[in-house]
Amino acid sequence: MERVVASWRNTPLSRWLSIGIISTLGVLLGLSIFALIYTPVHLESVQWSPEAQWVSASQPSYKIYLRRTEKLNYAPEAAWLKISADSDFIVYVNGQAVLRETNLLNQSRGLGLQLSDRFQRLSDSRSYDFRHRPAYWYGGSPDWKLTAYLELTRYLRAGKNVIAIVVENPRRSPRVVIEGVIYPSRKLSSAIHLTTGETPWLVSTLPKNRQGIFWYDSELPDEDWETAKALGTVQEKTYSRLTDTIFDRLLSGAWITGQESQNGELWLRREWNISEQPHRAFVRFAANGRYSLMINHRMVRRVGVVNSHQVRIHEVTEFLKPGRNIVAVRASRPIAQEAISTDPSPLSFFLDGWVEKAHGLSLSQANPLRSSSEAFASDTAAPGENELEVDSPQSLDQDETQPLNEETELEESPIETTPDDADAENDEQRTDLALRSAASPPTPDRDPRIVSPIVTDENWQVSDRAIPGWFEGAGAGNTARVVGLPNPSRVQRRYEGNADLYDYPRYLGYRSLLQAAGVGFALFWAWMLGRFRLKQKQSNWDYLIVGAGLLLPGTVFLATVGLLKHRFTEVERGLFFIQPQSLPLTLLGFVGIVGLTFVWNRRSNSRPEEPRSIVYGSHFGGFNLETLPRWESRPKLKFASSTVWQSVLFILIFGFAFVLRLYDLDFQALDTDEGVSLDAIRGILRTGVPIATSGIWYSRGPFYHYAVALWLSLFGDSATNARLLSVFLGQATLIAVFLLARKVTGKVWIALVVVAILAVDPMEIWYSRNIRFYQLTQLLDVIVFGAFIKGFIDRSGRWYQYLFFVALTLMLISQEVTVVLLPCFFLGFWYFYRPFRLSEDWRIVVGSVMAMGIYVFNGIFFIIKCLTPWVVLASTTDSYLKPHLWQVTAFVNCLFVGPTRMYTLYGFFFLLGFVYTIWRRDGKLFFLFSNVLLSVLFLTLLLYQVAIRYVYTFYPIFIILAVYSAIVVMQALGSHYERVLGGQLPLRKLATGFVVLLLFLNLEVDRVFAGYQDMVTRRSTDAFEYIRDHRQPGDLIIAHTPSVATGISGAVDYVLPSNWAIPFDSVYLREGQVVDRAGGGQLLSNLDQMSHILEGTNRIWIQLDEERELRNDPNFIQFFQTLGEPVLETFGSRLRLWERKEGVLPRVPNQGRDLGVP
């Protein structure tokens, strides 16, 4: 019997499937082991000092502005800070923005993904190219969990210094915690602490300015600012890839050199003795030439750009081992011969490094000398150094008594020539004394976390020629010569990540080797399990096939974890997968599952037998092609005949979705597009045609706008009621999706899974609460697909064909871009509707002609009535619907990737199902898959404007196919190996359970719920409501978002451009003036116009949009950012009021651009 069973088990398909499962398992095991022993990204919890506290303003606000002023006699030796802000922040030092994390206005971005220093982001994994701002019902990421470090030394100067920070929060509860130190000199007692809660910071809820001076400028008086309110110590965990010591350790060591070769080359070397296995290790280095740094004959960094002021910081943990290590450098001058002959300074190199032990102490706890009264001066200070303490630290680069000029041109050499004045001899004596102090061997670190420091000093060896084995420690050289000290105020310290990642050949080589070893181990283990299970001697293929079946649950588990890890790489949940205990737990879970699988299978001593087919159908190579019935053989299911629990479950899902769409419907403010549509709808209510406040027609989506106008005429004109119609359309879409999914899959429970996913989908919730035609278009698209299947594929009756043409026509005149879907339906009709007889099917021709005729009429009417001649420089002067090859991957990313990889799992299963469908030769499913792919293709080739809303139309079809593919493929795989193992393991159910769990774990429901507490849209409505309540006769309004103002404060007078170039559909030529087509305001494009406006009015309201400010000309928008006084700060928007009586009329140089200004 065993041989007979083996005859159907041991088939080509079974062999390939088993090899695929074993290979997948081996690769996953290799990657897991590689990640376990190799950790290029060390993300550790940040240790805050007990004195550090969260601070905020005394009253609630979306933003807080903080300032800290310090006066220094000299440029500092070192300065740094670390910051965690809830949630967005920008740090300014002396008026310069030096660090930012701005994520809230694009809330679907990941955790810290907008942090300006990419080496401090959550991981080194590159984010997918998703550049276009989507709209999702998502709360903001808790970016405060990612602590950012900032090196301040090069930004501070002698005299007055101001550190300013703005923090924005979507819940009117911004807070920030800061810890840092400024070292004016190397004296122990000179440290200036920047820690919030311990030292005073000033705060304001408005960006106060005076006479064109910004709130963050050092010249702004801040006497009227209040002291920040302390909220409590840091109890939460925050994380960072950096440590305090990277910036807190003062620069140690000196510039060293030696005799150069004739070609301007220099070789340097020193041993680095490590006393214990390093937890983390770092080096800081620089040179005034080109250089390569190696540790233990491995390249750390090769630098070809000459910049002696750039001190690069790298982690080198993986380069070191306990005991003897060799640090070697090859430095050379630039290739140009004239650079060698004319540069008088010697070719020099600087380095200092250290090893950190595992610790759980903050900086102040690790070093008790650090307090608000006295600080740790130097980690490597010589015992007699305090005798040399002066207010001006010694350096050969620059006289520290002079303020640091940020615009000073950086010199290529860090070494200055000997002074030629009368005091040159005394200067040389002081210099020699300082050099001896700096170059002396470092004393043991006072910080207990630091061991085995290394610095450049006389203990280095130097050679002017390439000695064989030099980088391995062979040969002997001369003693290095110290020529100077690094100037802390001139160097630019920059952390550039783990140096091991630059050694990508080794990285890829080791990973590939471990993956190959993992495959070999998986093959051996599968063979052993199969041999032990079958007992009697059979072929090796039998052993591997049975072993693959036993390893299937464990393989699926590892694959599930791997997919989730990839999915959550950019979001908060990714913190779990980066934790050191994550991989051991994963491997432990894998071993446990494999063990349970084997024990369960061993409960029965019976030999594996061929069980009865789980679902009727033929076998091909031992694989049941009919694990799920084909289209024609699937039972016709009706909701009315479903089981009671399915009906109850659908009602619960439907009700929960309704609550999510209806709850607090007015919480989010109107966005720009909503304002445009609502204004056109009210134009229909006033005049019967979609005329905006500006007097210009808006005929896009006529069916939707007239439908909403009818709805509002029945239930009352309000934004809430307009959104309520979208809620009902969203609920109707869920019903239509359920019916279509049940038809496509033949399974009610799969349809329920699809509806449950869409019920909490953030994009579905967003557009179901939005006054725009996208939800109606999606509903019509689902109806069109269902009617096409029933009317043209199944030929269930002409009424379905009529429904198809009606729904198609309404869809086309609701969102005109849906015309790209027509080729898909034409191809489907051509393939399935055979034979076609004109005498019997003339109604199809008539329906097609009528649908296209109405669409063409709508397009011509739009061109004649709505478009305007090109009267200004616009973002495009061509049609947005035209063949092109620009951004060819953009729409693929929108649908198959999405922001923060939220659609990657769907995309993976969709493509897997597409291949499976081709193999099964299921023409009807192939049509649905092809429809989605062709739609993406036509959007890519025909539509210039890339946005997620254009794929939203067929998004439910994509989800149906992705979910169905995941389930059917896993069920087929589980069923096959369930028969292989004699039916003793419920592999089909296990595989189905894993994939359904994976689909639901992919959802970030917590962030969806946070969308009911966090602001998602910019609250420009607050600004216009304030104007409405405080406006006086004769006031003018200048606005960034006029479409929002029309329904609140009325038409605006002037409009600020929303981009460097004017969007193609934002302005209109009327009576010789360029006006905004929504609010009717005149376009304000230059400051000469503004001068005329200021001369003729007494009060001007200025509404600014944060996102559009970033897209404006800085010189242009900065004038408005300081004009007048701030009166209101809201989420993503601000309001200012200029009054003539308050002061001097602001003047700007005339640029000759006021010709024609009335």
Q: pLDDT per residue over 539-563, tens digit each?
A: 888 899 999 999 999 999 999 999 9
The per-residue pLDDT for 345 is: 81
Backbone angles phi, psi at 1050, to 5 degrees: 90, -165
Q: Each residue of 987-1004: pLDDT tens digit?
A: 899 899 999 999 999 999
Q: Each residue of 484-524: pLDDT tens digit?
A: 898 888 888 899 989 988 888 888 898 999 999 999 999 99
Q: Each residue of 934-986: pLDDT tens digit?
A: 999 999 988 878 888 899 999 999 999 999 999 999 999 999 888 888 777 88
Q: Domain 45-60+68-240 classified CATH 2.60.300.12?
A: no
- 252 is written with which tokens? 């140690």
Alpha-carbon span 6 to 657, nearest angstrom: 50
In this prediction, residues 368-382 reach a mean pLDDT of 36
The per-residue pLDDT for 437 is: 39
CA atoms within 13 A on the CB side of 331: 29
Backbone angles phi, psi at 233, to 5 degrees: -70, 170
Instruction: Give CA 614 to chain center in angstroms.
Output: 45
The per-residue pLDDT for 129 is: 63
The per-residue pLDDT for 134 is: 57
The closest of 692, 715, 695, 694 to 705, measured between CA atoms, is: 692
In this prediction, residues 1096-1101 reach a mean pLDDT of 91
- 380 is written with which tokens? 């490597």
Asked whether residue 534 carries a pLDDT value surpassing 90, the answer given is: no
Query: Please, what is the angle between helix 955-980 and helix 12-37, to 10°?
Result: 110
Could you count the other beta carbons within 10 Å of the beta carbon of residue 188? Answer: 17
Fold of 251-374+388-403+410-428+438-487: Jelly Rolls (2.60.120)
Asked whether residue 612 carries a pLDDT value surpassing 50, the answer given is: no
Q: What percent of the chain has pLDDT over 70?
A: 83
DSSP codes joined into one string, 614-666: SSSS-EETTEETTSS--TTTS----GGGS-HHHHHHHHHHHHHHHHHHHTTTT
Q: Give the start-end residues of each E strand in 333-437.
A: 349-356
The per-residue pLDDT for 1064 is: 53
The larger pLDDT score, comparing residue 615 to residue 1038, is at 1038
In this prediction, residues 448-460 reach a mean pLDDT of 90
In this prediction, residues 380-403 reach a mean pLDDT of 33
* 850 — pLDDT class (breaks 50, 70, 90): very high
The per-residue pLDDT for 556 is: 93
Alpha-carbon span 257 to 847, nearest angstrom: 86
Give yes or no for a contact between 176 and 56, defined as CB atoms under 8 angstroms apart: yes
Asked whether residue 1049 carries a pLDDT value surpassing 60, the answer given is: yes
CA atoms within 13 A on the CB side of 17: 26
Q: Each residue of 8-64: pLDDT tens digit?
A: 456 888 899 999 999 999 999 999 999 888 877 788 899 999 999 999 999 999 999
In this prediction, residues 1075-1104 reach a mean pLDDT of 87
In this prediction, residues 861-885 reach a mean pLDDT of 61
Which residues does 889 contact at the CB level (< 8 Å), separation at least 6? 129
Asked whether residue 1157 carries a pLDDT value surpassing 50, the answer given is: no
CA atoms within 13 A on the CB side of 695: 8
103 vs 111, 287, 517, 530, 722, CA distance in Å? 8, 37, 42, 52, 29
* 675 — pLDDT class (breaks 50, 70, 90): very high
The larger pLDDT score, comparing residue 326 to residue 503, is at 326
Q: What percent of the chain has pLDDT over 90?
A: 50
Alpha-carbon span 177 to 55, nearest angstrom: 6
Asked whether residue 108 carries a pLDDT value surpassing 70, the answer given is: no
Could you count the other beta carbons within 10 Å of the beta carbon of residue 432? Answer: 11
DSSP H or E run through 204 = strand 202-204
The per-residue pLDDT for 1080 is: 84
Coil vs helix vs strand at 583: helix
Alpha-carbon span 90 to 215, nearest angstrom: 13
The per-residue pLDDT for 305 is: 80
CA atoms within 13 A on the CB side of 1086: 12
* 446 — pLDDT class (breaks 50, 70, 90): low
Q: Each residue of 776-800: pLDDT tens digit?
A: 999 999 999 999 999 999 999 899 9
The per-residue pLDDT for 628 is: 42
Give yes or no for a contact between 653 and 759, defined as CB atoms under 8 angstroms apart: yes
Average pLDDT value over all residues in the chain: 83
The closest of 111, 128, 109 to 120, measured between CA atoms, is: 111
Asked whether residue 1071 carries a pLDDT value surpassing 80, the answer given is: no
Q: Each residue of 173-194: pLDDT tens digit?
A: 999 999 999 999 877 678 999 9
The larger pLDDT score, comparing residue 308 to residue 963, is at 963
Asked whether residue 1128 carries a pLDDT value surpassing 90, the answer given is: yes
* 804 — pLDDT class (breaks 50, 70, 90): very high
* 749 — pLDDT class (breaks 50, 70, 90): very high
* 433 — pLDDT class (breaks 50, 70, 90): very low
Alpha-carbon span 145 to 112, nearest angstrom: 9
Asked whether residue 68 carries a pLDDT value surpassing 90, the answer given is: yes
